[in-house]
Amino acid sequence: MTTTTVHPDIGAAVRLRDLGPGEEDVLDAVFAGLSATSRYRRFHYGTPALTPAVRASLAAVDGERHLAVAAFVGDEPVGIARLIATGGGRADLAVEVVDAWQGRGVGGRLVHTVLVRGAEAGFTTVDADVLSTNGPMLGLLAGLLPDHTRRVSGPETRVSASLEGLAVNNPFAGYERAAQHRAELLAASRDRRLARLRRRPRPTRPVRTTGGDAA
């Protein structure tokens, strides 16, 4: 399934689609766009490169026990969210967004979409192990899963929530309206600034004369 939305901040089309098995090129592109900090937040350890075993595991999407959704801008992969079954109707959630697109709503769209896919696939509960210092991710999950529970274990916080009754409608409509309004205000401010520059008189240079009095 593919969905496309226009990101209100910059007008770029963000396309979401389900990943299939073996799409390692998408994994590699997203991993390459993560800084060392983002990789640590995602994997909870320093990892300059994906090991063959981890890479193969992440590419083993089957649409039933392992679901993954990727975000694209044009043909460029910019993020992935996935659910991996752990038994008893539960699934582990993970998400990564390349640094250049963090803070722009992509992660929220990815997580919401893969959670809806998970609910449709029969998962009833989702768990996410998040570094306790990763405030943005904890805040995102709190917004998407208001009835979640948290359990702190060492440096990690486990967020758990039921997927029953998960809202299928876009939970980011308010964000998008606010972002569109912000974009309109910025465009209007830019237009006013350009208009002032056009009206500003250009400095005149003094007239220079050469030679002396006529003989």
DSSP of 90-157: EEEEEEEE-GGGTTTTHHHHHHHHHHHHHHHHT--EEEEEEETT-HHHHHHHHHH-TT-EEEEETTEE
Q: Report which residue type is found at 147.
A: D
Query: What tokens were used for 143?
Result: 């917004």
pLDDT in tens, 49-88: 899 999 999 999 999 999 999 999 999 999 999 999 999 9
Range with the poorest average pLDDT among 86-100, 125-139, 198-212:
198-212
Fold (CATH) for 2-177: Aminopeptidase (3.40.630)
The model's pTM is 0.74
Give the confidence band of 149 by pLDDT, cuts at 50, 70, 90. Answer: very high
What are the angstrom distances between the C-alpha of 24 and each of 38, 47, 55, 100?
Answer: 19, 17, 7, 21
